[in-house]
């Protein structure tokens, strides 16, 4: 996002630190009533003095509790059409007025999902990414890559499910032999690995298109849909085997 839309000052300030691991980044988009329909967001950023004052709420934000900086989508003009009144701001998670709460989940033990409550959070005008009220274009340009990262996570987790189920099927003995030698279990494992490979190839195709600079909203969305639903199905099947 910064490479394509950020100012030179923003690029020089943040990109080297992100690349060398000094800085962790979080993306704050989703709200209680604005998930897939991001344009419905209502968190406001009102111009005041030499900056903005933010009020609102974000939810299911990955890693905000450990991030050094966040990219946040906010509404800067409620009178414009909903896709036109959005701006993107760089926000310090430690700014006064931000309350970050970890959401308890069944998984995600390495990095948390969080909920953000923002009350009169002040952000300098130099933290605006791109044009005022031009955040929709900025947002869309970054979502392809973000979704692609999610796809890679789905594939990795799904492969782990299959590997663990296969190891268990080799070790657990019933009726005098490993359960993996029973045809019903073998068929399940074969179908599971086939589904993982299909999700992986969809992700590879989307990644190649991103690298080549080819528009690929459809392909990234296909990989995300298939990968996420496959992971849910495979997790359930893995539990049946184990």
- pLDDT at residue 78, rounded to an integer: 92
Same domain flag for 14 and 102: yes
What is the tally of structural domains in the chain? 2
Radius of gyration of the chain (CA): 21
Q: What is the CATH number of the domain that holds 177?
A: 1.20.140.10
- pLDDT at residue 105, rounded to an integer: 85
Question: At 121, which helix (H) or strand (E)?
Answer: strand 113-124
Total count of residues recorded for the chain:
242
- pLDDT at residue 195, rounded to an integer: 98
CA atoms within 13 A on the CB side of 158: 27
- pLDDT at residue 178, rounded to an integer: 94
Q: 0.95 exceeded by the pTM?
A: no
Same domain flag for 94 and 176: no
Q: Which of 88, 115, 131 is the last residue of a domain?
A: 131
How many Cβ atoms sit within 10 Å of the Cβ of residue 15?
14
Phi-psi region of 63 (alpha: psi -120 to 50; beta: other; left: phi over 0): left
Q: Which of 22, 126, 20 is CA-nearest to residue 67?
A: 22
Same domain flag for 196 and 119: no
Same domain flag for 84 and 152: no
- pLDDT at residue 138, rounded to an integer: 87
Same domain flag for 31 and 116: yes
C-alpha span between 112 and 69 (Å, rounded): 16
Q: What is the CATH number of the domain that holds 30?
A: 2.40.110.10
φ/ψ of residue 18, rounded to 5: -70, -45
Pair 136, 83: CB distance under 8 Å: yes
Residue 32 belongs to domain spanning? 2-131
Pair 100, 116: CB distance under 8 Å: yes
- Exposure class string for 43-71: b at 16+ Cβ within 10 A, else e: bbbeeeeebbbbbbbbbbbbbbbebebbb
Same domain flag for 14 and 124: yes
Same domain flag for 100 and 205: no
Same domain flag for 6 and 125: yes
Q: Which of 109, 131, 153 is the last residue of a domain?
A: 131
Same domain flag for 89 and 112: yes
C-alpha span between 29 and 58 (Å, rounded): 7
Same domain flag for 107 and 145: no
Q: Which of 159, 214, 203, 165 is CA-nearest to residue 186?
A: 165
Same domain flag for 21 and 109: yes
Same domain flag for 100 and 217: no
C-alpha span between 182 and 109 (Å, rounded): 34
- pLDDT at residue 141, rounded to an integer: 76
Lookup: tokens for 127: 């933290």
Q: Which of 92, 110, 131 is the last residue of a domain?
A: 131
Q: Specify the pairing of strand 86-91 against strand 98-103.
A: unpaired
- pLDDT at residue 5, rounded to an integer: 85
pLDDT in tens, the chain (242 residues): 787 888 999 999 999 999 998 999 999 999 999 888 888 999 999 999 999 999 999 999 999 999 999 999 999 999 999 889 999 999 999 999 999 999 998 776 778 999 999 999 999 999 999 999 999 988 887 778 888 989 999 999 999 999 999 999 999 999 999 999 999 999 999 999 999 999 999 999 999 998 898 988 899 999 999 999 999 999 999 999 99
């Amino acid at each position: 996002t910064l490479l394509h839309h950020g100012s030179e000052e923003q690029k020089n300030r943040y990109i080297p630190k992100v690349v060398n691991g000094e800085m962790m980044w979080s993306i704050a988009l989703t709200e209680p009533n604005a998930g897939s329909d991001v344009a419905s967001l209502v968190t406001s950023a009102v111009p005041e003095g030499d900056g903005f004052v933010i009020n609102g709420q974000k939810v299911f934000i990955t890693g905000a509790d450990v991030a050094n900086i966040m990219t946040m989508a906010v509404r800067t003009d409620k009178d414009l059409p909903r896709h036109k009144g959005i701006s993107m701001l760089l926000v310090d998670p430690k700014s006064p007025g931000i309350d970050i709460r970890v959401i308890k989940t069944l998984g995600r033990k390495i990095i948390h999902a969080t909920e953000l409550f923002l009350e009169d959070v002040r952000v300098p005008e130099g933290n605006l990414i791109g044009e005022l009220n031009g955040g929709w274009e900025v947002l869309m340009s970054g979502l392809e890559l973000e979704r692609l990262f999610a796809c890679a996570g789905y594939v990795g987790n799904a492969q782990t499910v299959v590997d663990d189920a296969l190891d268990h099927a080799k070790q657990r003995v019933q009726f005098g032999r490993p359960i993996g030698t029973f045809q019903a279990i073998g068929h399940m494992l074969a179908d599971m690995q086939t589904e993982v490979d299909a999700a992986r190839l969809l992700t590879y195709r989307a990644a190649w298109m991103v690298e080549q600079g080819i528009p690929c909203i459809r392909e990234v969305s296909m990989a995300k849909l298939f990968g996420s639903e496959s992971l849910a199905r495979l997790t359930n099947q893995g539990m049946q085997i184990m």
